[in-house]
Structure 1
Amino acid sequence: MKLKFILFITLFSVAFVSCQDEMDVPRATTGVTIVYPDNVQALTILEETLVFTNVSTGENVTVPVNENFDLPRGLYNCSYKADVTYQTTSEGATSNPDEGEAGDDHTQESETVTMQGKLSGKLESVEINSNEKLNLSIETFLFSDKDDFIIEEIFFTGTLRSSGSQYYGDSYVKIYNNTDHVLYADGLALCESKFKSTQYFDYTPDIRKDTFTVWAIYVIPGSGKEHPVQPGESLILCDTGIDHRNANPNSFDLSAADFEWYDESTKPSHMDIDSPTVPNLDKWYCYTLSFWVLHNRGFCSYALARIPIDKETYLRDYYYTYSYTMYLPAGTFPMQQSAYKIPNSWIVDGVNCSVEAARVWDILPPNVDAGWTHCGKIDHDKERYFKSVRRKVAGFENGRCILQDTNNSSDDFNTECVPSIIEQQGTAKDAQGTKASTVTWDGVMPKTESNK
């Protein structure tokens, strides 16, 4: 009896202290105004969520939209998501009345169509510590299903030799047909950002809302229907399409990849390898004078785009010159640089990558990717090698794998996975040569007889 009494007193004391601690945490009243896109007609909100994430603790707090609420003081990231309907107008076709019968102008009236889509917006590093009410504003972006390829996997970290040294050439990007019909890969462009997620400047002019600044563009060749991809099938775009195990036993075989990016280097000491078994992507532009490799610490963003104009027109009309100021201990330095740009409306899918300890911003705007993904916890993380980011499985339909695509890489991707090709070939997953023994759909869900 005495033991029970002591236990009761102890639990009561813990509960009282916990409640008292919670009451003692300073809180601040906050209000959020959602700014909806001004170019959208008849917008109707079906479902919406507003989440504040405490940067220090990682705790997520879902708060009411368009109402005041209290939060413990601290540093927060904030994200808004909504399922919506909106209207768009399709213009009617009009023929020349002289070509028809008298009085018949063959004019078709414009038609208003109701569409479904999603809104997203976010704020980062919001400091909530004021004694007065804090009023925030979140600008939202509309995105809808592009009915095109998505990025399934990015393997940018590379492998290591048994000596522990970095090996180059075996990086790849997997693209996936997540639809229920055949897609054609002809003309699809793979692009890497020029800007880095770990370094931000006030770029002038600032065109990020509408445009993606790139320094590498490689396009799948073809006249339109030369490269069909069935529903649930992938294509592998790789750095060098050879069996890399000949140079590094800890690597794997890419000699059967679908395409490789190949560069005619002007640096005799840094020559690229042109695979005899893997066709080349059409190189539209790349910054390097030697050969392109994916940023192996994951500081860049990647996008798939459909460029609706020819190469010559693009290279002539989509050059972007911008200025910014570098503030260093040695002084202030005005800078000017140039790059090519891709209108965000051409992008069919995009993925922001970074490293949490060094991340400053997301290069792609929220209507393309409202989140980010990673391999490695810190810059130069030695544990990042042999790992990729892989898109999560959302479900299965008639035996076809459906991958998750909410335009938010923080939600859509599994991080630090064993790459799919390493799993499939049973090759090394570390510098010690340990062989992969499990095959998964997305780096987490095992492939079994029941879900194949």
Structure 2
Amino acid sequence: MKKMTRIFGALLLVSAALILTSCKDDEPGIPESVVSWTLTLPETASDGTVSDVTALFTNINTSTTYKGAVTSATKATVLTVSATVPEGLYKISVEGTLTYTADDGSKVTSGFRALRESVAIAGESATVPESQTNFYTPSEGFVISEIFFTGTLTDVEGDWYNDDHYIKIRNNSDQILYADSLAIMESEFSPVLKYDYTPDIMKDFFSVSWVFMIPGTGKDVPVQPGEELVIAMMGIDHREYNSRSFDLSKADFEFFDDDAAGTIYPDTDGPTVPNLDKWYSKSLTVSDFHNRGSMTVAIARMQGTKEDFLLNNKYTATYTFTFGDFSREMTTETYKVPNAWIVDAVGCAPRDEFQWLVIDPSLDAGWTWCAENNSDKNRYNTAVVRKTGSNGKLQDTNNSTQDFTPHTTPSMLQ
């Protein structure tokens, strides 16, 4: 899901108007506010036209979604979004399609979007700060098709078993692709804890807590069109330890923290499953998916050597931690992956705990979930699974809210 970086010529925009509607009844007794939001399109094209524009205002507290009106002026490079909604805290998103003439004279059609998180709307009228839209092209290469991070319950005591996490990556194209140098990574920042990190590098980089790469020399790991790689956190037959789990001893690869051998929580090396190449992990024991899903997971095509990455991609961020009357300046040290390397990303969070996106919205403008909240015991035995589109391929709009079925049965338990 890489951002488009081409330069476009002057835009000739057509009007796109949407009637204000609500997916649910308005909240009774709450004052309404007239909202306006100005968007600047990132590049220009002399004969560009916009179409299929949708503006959505989602109340974070009630999950009520309202549609807004989008208008543009001839030969303008801005869109104006307007809506009348009950006062509250909102996520606002705009998506549309732009058709333009490229520098070589060819016609190009691309998606564009803009997103604002946690916008407080109050008063008779409200103005959202002007924003820049981003162009994007849905991926037809490798995509994350499923993440199982919740674990299973044992049949005897009903205890939580946490070692059977896995991720599936599918070739969503019509040709053979090679997975060598494709890396899986988890976010350093949490979508349920929002801080203002300095320096803010999110527009260009993804901050990571661990990175594991599929090894190979270029064409060692071919993946046929429509086929998937299964990558296990622990590549063993988990049914030996929990009859309600499943067999991951035939996975294509597994995560393995070989340097955790001398720790209190050493990792288990599945004897039949090849190990991923560990590039970095902030954990002093075993790397794993966050078991309530408070994370963003991405896959990226790594460039250069591991040594180059560790030398050139360190990231130190400062932020202010506040709890009640207590406040303290904090520092976190980790690594960053260029957004330009990222192929796909999936944001996750417990549904009632989400606060912000921890990756640039051009890579993923939404998030999906398995848990209602941090203490939800119904999250066990569920996964997030990508939807299939009408063309038989997996749906990929760079928005995990739209692209994934949340809290569903994992494929390994079907």
Give the Cα separation in 1 of the matches to 2:240 and 2:28.
64
Aligned with residue 36 of structure 1, among 31, 34, 41: 41
- CA separation of 1:167 and 1:85: change in aligned 2, threshold 3 A: same
Normalising by structure 1, we get a TM-score of 0.79
* 1:51 is aligned to 2:56: yes
Any idea what the Cα deviations from partners look like across 1:59-101, whole Å, max 9, x if unmatched? Answer: 3221111264433333332110011235655xxxxxxxxxxxx
Give the Cα separation in 1 of the matches to 2:28 and 2:413.
52
Aligned with residue 409 of structure 2, among 418, 428, 435: 418
- CA separation of 1:226 and 1:58: change in aligned 2, threshold 3 A: same
Any idea what the Cα deviations from partners look like across 1:321-350, whole Å, max 9, x if unmatched? Answer: 111111234632111221110111110100
* 1:305 is aligned to 2:300: yes
- The question of whether the paired residues in 1 share the 8 Å contact of 2:138 and 2:396 is answered with no
Aligned with residue 405 of structure 1, among 373, 396, 412: 396
Match of 2:353 in 1: 358
Computing the radius of gyration from Cα coordinates, the structure with the larger value is: 1
Give the Cα separation in 2 of the matches to 1:392 and 1:49.
21
- The question of whether the paired residues in 2 share the 8 Å contact of 1:178 and 1:231 is answered with yes
Matched AA of 1:251: S
The 5 Å alignment of 1:223-262 reads 223-262=217-256
Aligned with residue 338 of structure 2, among 340, 343, 359: 343
| Structure with more helix by fraction | 1
Matched AA of 1:238: A
Match of 1:9 in 2: none
Matched AA of 1:305: A
Matched AA of 1:119: F
* Helix, strand or coil at the partner of 1:366: coil
Q: What is the deviation of 1:377?
A: 0.4
Matched AA of 2:85: L
* Helix, strand or coil at the partner of 2:393: strand
- CA separation of 1:77 and 1:165: change in aligned 2, threshold 3 A: same
Matched AA of 1:172: Y
Of 384-393 and 57-66, more deviation after overlay is shown by 57-66
- The question of whether the paired residues in 2 share the 8 Å contact of 1:31 and 1:136 is answered with no
Any idea what the Cα deviations from partners look like across 1:333-387, whole Å, max 9, x if unmatched? Answer: 1112211101111101000000122111111121001100000101121110110
- The question of whether the paired residues in 1 share the 8 Å contact of 2:261 and 2:267 is answered with no
Any idea what the Cα deviations from partners look like across 1:211-256, whole Å, max 9, x if unmatched? Answer: 1000110100111111111111110011111101111112110011
- Contiguous gaps of at least 5 residues in structure 1: 1-20, 90-110, 424-452
Give the Cα separation in 1 of the matches to 2:142 and 2:113.
21
- CA separation of 1:242 and 1:77: change in aligned 2, threshold 3 A: same
Any idea what the Cα deviations from partners look like across 1:160-200, whole Å, max 9, x if unmatched? Answer: 22312221221000001111111111110001011111111
Give the Cα separation in 2 of the matches to 1:57 and 1:331.
30
Any idea what the Cα deviations from partners look like across 1:37-75, whole Å, max 9, x if unmatched? Answer: 25x655542321111123344332211112644333333
Matched AA of 2:220: E
- The question of whether the paired residues in 2 share the 8 Å contact of 1:266 and 1:289 is answered with no
- CA separation of 1:69 and 1:388: change in aligned 2, threshold 3 A: closer
Aligned with residue 170 of structure 1, among 153, 164, 169: 164
Q: Calculate the aligned-residue CA RMSD, in Å.
A: 2.1
Match of 1:294 in 2: 289
Normalising by structure 2, we get a TM-score of 0.86
Match of 1:26 in 2: 31
Count of equivalent residues: 377
Match of 2:21 in 1: none
Match of 1:62 in 2: 67
* Helix, strand or coil at the partner of 2:112: strand
- Which structure is richer in relative contact order (CA contacts within 8 A, separation 6 or more)? 2
| Structure with more strand by fraction | 2
* 1:319 is aligned to 2:331: no
* Helix, strand or coil at the partner of 1:403: coil
Give the Cα separation in 1 of the matches to 2:126 and 2:277.
55
* Helix, strand or coil at the partner of 2:310: helix
Q: How many percent identity over aligned positions?
A: 41
Match of 1:119 in 2: 112
- CA separation of 1:120 and 1:269: change in aligned 2, threshold 3 A: same
- The question of whether the paired residues in 1 share the 8 Å contact of 2:295 and 2:349 is answered with yes
Give the Cα separation in 2 of the matches to 1:329 and 1:59.
30
Give the Cα separation in 1 of the matches to 2:135 and 2:401.
18
- Contiguous gaps of at least 5 residues in structure 2: 1-25, 71-79
The 5 Å alignment of 1:68-107 reads 68-86=82-100
Aligned with residue 373 of structure 1, among 362, 368, 376: 368
Match of 2:18 in 1: none
Give the Cα separation in 2 of the matches to 1:114 and 1:346.
26
- CA separation of 1:339 and 1:112: change in aligned 2, threshold 3 A: farther
Give the Cα separation in 2 of the matches to 1:32 and 1:390.
33
Q: What is the deviation of 1:31?
A: 1.5
Give the Cα separation in 2 of the matches to 1:224 and 1:128.
51
- CA separation of 1:132 and 1:393: change in aligned 2, threshold 3 A: closer
* Helix, strand or coil at the partner of 2:54: strand
- The question of whether the paired residues in 2 share the 8 Å contact of 1:267 and 1:289 is answered with no
Give the Cα separation in 1 of the matches to 2:27 and 2:376.
36
Give the Cα separation in 2 of the matches to 1:146 and 1:24.
44
